């Protein structure tokens, strides 16, 4: 199996561990998590074969997550020109595979650079090339997304509460997801990742307008049910494995 790879820091104490070969390494910085409760029946139609909504605290969830992707390296070592750093905002559901794997299922991913969008689309990952940028004002990290043409937009900002750690069970279940489910070549696969524990803080929403989650067809209204912020982590992606 090889030696588990987590980077130079102490490893995450739970979840699947990525073993060599490492396909990609990337840092996620300035991450804002917005989440809404969602009936499992609303998420089920989006799930690929062999995958169902992951239900916890009586609901499944939909997330709007913004961050800066930095220092992307293929095989964990090789820098990628014109790809390595960009802004990403994704809409994601929470998924459980028939093999017991727990991860996320991306509905859309807006990115600020065209090259990663084109690469991801070859893998059937739903990237959208958009005007994405961090919108930091003082102590309020956030993101603005403007899709080209008359399409949905999103704008949000938060104030983190650095005096408290968000270490309750729900916060960890929403943010400590060690992989993603996707469809590749007509098969459902799970792509694992590994990282240290998020330095995770509760946050207060100070600015919010979102058209991305409703545009994905999900029945949510009003502000999110939970709001979190993390300065970020370094993560490693492993080889996909087929589950269905």
pLDDT reading at 7 higher than 60:
no
- Per-residue confidence (pLDDT) for residue 150, from 0 to 100: 73
- At residue 30, φ and ψ (nearest 5 deg) are 60, 50
Give percent of the chain above pLDDT 90. 47
Helices (H), the chain: 40-43, 114-122, 169-175, 212-215
| Average pLDDT over every residue of 168-181 | 90
Task: Kindly report the pTM of this predicted structure.
Answer: 0.87
Over residues 66-102, the pLDDT tens digits come to 999 887 776 556 555 555 578 899 999 999 999 999 9
Which one is predicted more confidently, 61 or 146?
A: 61
Which one is predicted more confidently, 195 or 154?
A: 154
- Per-residue confidence (pLDDT) for residue 118, from 0 to 100: 62
Count of beta carbons in the 10 Å neighbourhood of residue 199: 14
Over residues 155-173, the pLDDT tens digits come to 999 999 999 999 898 998 8
Supply 171's token pair.
């916060």
Q: What angle do CA 55, 127, 205 make, to 5 degrees?
A: 60
- Per-residue confidence (pLDDT) for residue 22, from 0 to 100: 77
Contact 54, 40 (CB under 8 A): no
Name the most confidently modeled range: 12-21, 28-37, 104-113: 28-37
Give percent of the chain above pLDDT 70. 82
pLDDT, the chain, mean:
83
Q: Which residue has the tokens 């989650």?
A: 213
- Per-residue confidence (pLDDT) for residue 63, from 0 to 100: 97
| Average pLDDT over every residue of 132-138 | 78
| Average pLDDT over every residue of 215-241 | 91
Which one is predicted more confidently, 68 or 23?
A: 68
Residue 27's pLDDT band (boundaries 50, 70, 90)?
Answer: confident
pLDDT reading at 11 higher than 60:
no
Count of beta carbons in the 10 Å neighbourhood of residue 14: 10
- Per-residue confidence (pLDDT) for residue 2, from 0 to 100: 33
């Amino acid at each position: 199996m090889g030696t588990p790879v987590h980077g130079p820091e102490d490893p995450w104490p739970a979840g699947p561990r990525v073993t060599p070969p490492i396909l990609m390494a990337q840092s996620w910085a300035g991450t804002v998590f917005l989440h809404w409760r969602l009936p499992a029946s609303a998420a089920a139609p989006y799930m690929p074969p062999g995958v169902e909504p992951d239900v916890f605290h009586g609901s499944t969830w939909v997330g709007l997550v913004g961050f800066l992707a930095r220092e992307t390296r293929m095989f964990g070592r090789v820098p990628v020109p014109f790809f390595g750093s960009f802004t990403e905002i994704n809409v994601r559901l929470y998924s459980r595979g028939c093999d017991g794997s727990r991860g996320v299922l991306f509905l859309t991913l807006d990115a600020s650079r065209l090259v990663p969008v084109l690469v991801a689309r070859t893998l059937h990952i739903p990237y959208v090339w958009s005007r994405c940028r961090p919108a930091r004002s003082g102590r309020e990290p956030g993101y603005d997304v403007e899709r080209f043409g008359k399409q949905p937009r999103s704008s949000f900002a938060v104030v983190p509460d650095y005096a408290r750690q968000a270490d309750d069970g729900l916060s960890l279940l929403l943010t400590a997801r060690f992989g993603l489910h996707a469809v590749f070549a007509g098969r459902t696969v799970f792509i694992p990742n590994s990282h240290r524990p998020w330095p995770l803080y509760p946050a207060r929403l100070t600015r919010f307008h979102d058209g991305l989650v409703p545009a994905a067809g999900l029945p949510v209204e009003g502000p999110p049910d939970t709001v979190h912020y993390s300065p970020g982590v370094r993560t490693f992606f492993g080889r996909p494995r087929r589950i269905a």
